[in-house]
Structure formats: C-alpha cells, structure tokens
A = this chain, B = another copy of it.
Amino acid sequence: MRAAIIHAPGDIRVENRPDPVVTTPTDAVIRMVATCVCGSDLWHYRGINKVKGPAPIGHEYMGVVEAVGDSVTTVSPGDLVIGSFISSDGTCGICTDGYQSACVERSFVTGAQAEKLLVSHADGTLVTVPGRPDKSLYPSLLACSDVLGTGWFGAVAAEVGAGKSVCVVGDGAVGLCAVLAASQLGAEKIIAMSGHSDRQKLARRFGATDIVDARGDEGAAAVKDLTGGLGAHSVVECVGTGESMKQSLASCRPGGHVGYVGVPHGIELTGKDLFGPMLHLHGGPAPVRRFLPDLIDRVISKTIEPGLVFTDTFTLETIADAYRAMDERRAIKAFISFD
C-alpha cells in the first residue's frame, strides 16, 4: 500500500509499505476512505516533538472494514467505520467510566495517513456509520475521529451547559470545534479568542457570540469585561502552551471550569496557580470513543457541519503539500481524499 512516512522535521514522503494484516483476534484492518492532518502532527513536522523516523504518521481515519479477527463482533467487512486516535478495549473499568483514552489496554493509533490501517481492539474502538452517507458528509464524519471529538470533550470537560458563558482559547480546528460544541451544548455566550479573520468567520458560523483578538493578560481582561467582571464559567484550552494555559486560567471565574485539550508544551503551574483561583481543571487526550455515536448522529442528521474546518483538500500523494499548507496556516485543516 501507499503510506505517508515522516523522515525528519519538514520531510513527509509517500512510500510503499506492506499492507497491514490481522494478527490478533481483536484486530481489524480498514481501507481508508478519508484521513487528514492533525495540529498535533505539526509538533513533529516542526521538530518541536522529536521525530523517530522514518515512521508512519496520522491518527484520524474513516474507512471500510476489510478484515477482522475472530473475536470481533461489532464491526464486519464492508462496514463504514470511524474510530478514535486511541484504541481501547471498551470493557475495563476506565472505559466503562467513559475514559477510553486512558483504557488499561490503550494504544495510540498511528499510520492513518495511508491506504490501509490496522486498528487494535476493534470492538472497543470503532463505530459503524449507519446507512450509506453521501460523500458530501465525509469531511464532517471524519472530523468526529479527533478534531470534533477533542473540541467536544474540551467543552464537556469545561462543563459547558445551558446559560453559561464560555471562552475558547485557540482558533485552530480543535478550538473552532469547541465553539461548535459549546453552541450545541447550549452555552449562552461563546467567546472565541482569534486574531485571524477567516477563523473568526468560521467561529461565528459555529456559534461564537463574541470574538476577542487580544492575547495574554489583555485577552483575559477582555473576557472579564464580557462576563460582568467575573470571568467565563467555562474555558476551553485548545493550544497547549504555558502562555495559553495561563491565559485560560486568568479568563475563568472562581468556581469555574477549565477544560484543556491542547497537547502540553511548556506548561508549568504552581500551587498558587492551582489554589488561589478556585478553578476546576480537567482535560487530557480526549476519550473520543465516548462521544462518537452521538457525534456521528449529529452529522448524519445534518445538525452540525464540523467538516467546515477542512478548508483544503489533498490526496495521499500530495500530502506533503497538506502539511505545508497547515504549517504556514494557509489551511485551517487539510482533508485527504481517497476518491
């Protein structure tokens, strides 16, 4: 099969690789229908995370099941499926609590930017898409696999709900999906922090009621001004830097909730940061599997259109261009089509 391989920062190549095969009874192999480039792939592409290359890359996927192991019962060859970027057994105490991304048997999916993908713990990881959805829905369906699921978890972790004020820090695709989630979850005021007009526009379309262009202390002060001087009830942190985390804490009211889904780079909090502001903190790698059936339903029923985060489409053979477009922030998010 053909697969994207990262060799070094900035060096993505498409190469021939052996087709994956079922090796344990809980495995499935899928043929890719759509994949994409994640903001977290850029940590490697930019050399901020060490590249142990050459290595397969990519962890967002929608595909058709080709083969399953003997013990797999919930998906069958021919099914159109979506899974999370972390495989989970679905049965341990952590999974049944809804924290599949911390499953005792978890493993991180990688190699989804390829024609085929091996998914372990298929029963606990994959969800079948009902019916035969129109291809126009593929971007929105694929978004469920990570970017929407992550933004959604960020909003849930921040306890977004009816009548609340929400601030979303980060205007990448995850942040924009967190805005969409906040809107779906009934938030009254949704403040998107963004300095880019194209992203501001999409944030508005997804339900943002206010846009704040400023950052840091100035940004937090602007959020307080918009929330009666107290700060937002819920803040969703979708960047992962020390600066963005501090800004998120400073934007939240005492007793409020900060949900963080940005992969952390350079975050350090002291006891004073934790104790004084009386915030609730929760986050981590999103347990996307918890939300997948609901999110797929919302896409199929055309209640939401998260696929709008895909501003550019590429093929697997031109995926290096997709990385460049995202790295240079020309694309919000790059869709990889297999048509």
Of the candidates B102, B242, B253, B271, the one whose C-beta lies within 8 Å of that of A254 is B102
Given contacts A98-B255, A102-B255, contact A282 B279 (CB under 8 A): yes
CA distance in complex: A60, B94 (Å):
41
Look across to chain B and name the residue whose beta carbon is closest to the beta carbon of A264. B271
For the complex formed, measure the closest distance between the CB of A282 and the CB atoms of chain B, giving whole angstroms: 4
As a 0/1 sequence over residues 258 to 295 of chain A, the CB contacts with chain B under 8 angstroms (1 = contact) are 00100111111111101111111111110100000000
Look across to chain B and name the residue whose beta carbon is closest to the beta carbon of A255. B99
Whether B276 lies near A284 (C-beta < 8 A) is: yes
Whether A280 lies near B280 (C-beta < 8 A) is: yes
A93 CB–B CB distance under 8 Å: yes
Look across to chain B and name the residue whose beta carbon is closest to the beta carbon of A99. B255
A194 CB–B CB distance under 8 Å: no
Interface size (A, Cβ < 8 Å)? 41
For the complex formed, measure the closest distance between the CB of A28 and the CB atoms of chain B, giving whole angstroms: 25
| B residues less than 8 Å from A280 (CB atoms) | 280-282
CA distance in complex: A283, B275 (Å):
6
A97 CB–B CB distance under 8 Å: yes
| B residues less than 8 Å from A266 (CB atoms) | 271
Whether A253 lies near B94 (C-beta < 8 A) is: yes
For the complex formed, measure the closest distance between the CB of A167 and the CB atoms of chain B, giving whole angstroms: 16
| B residues less than 8 Å from A104 (CB atoms) | 229-230
The interface centre, meaning the residue of A104, A274, A287 with most chain B CB atoms within 10 A of its CB, is A274
Given contacts A265-B271, A275-B284, 17 further A-B contacts (CB under 8 A): A93-B230, A97-B253, A99-B254, A99-B255, A99-B278, A104-B229, A240-B271, A242-B271, A268-B268, A268-B270, A268-B271, A277-B284, A278-B282, A278-B283, A280-B281, A280-B282, A281-B281
6 A-B interface contacts by CB (under 8 A): A93-B253, A97-B254, A104-B230, A268-B270, A268-B271, A275-B285
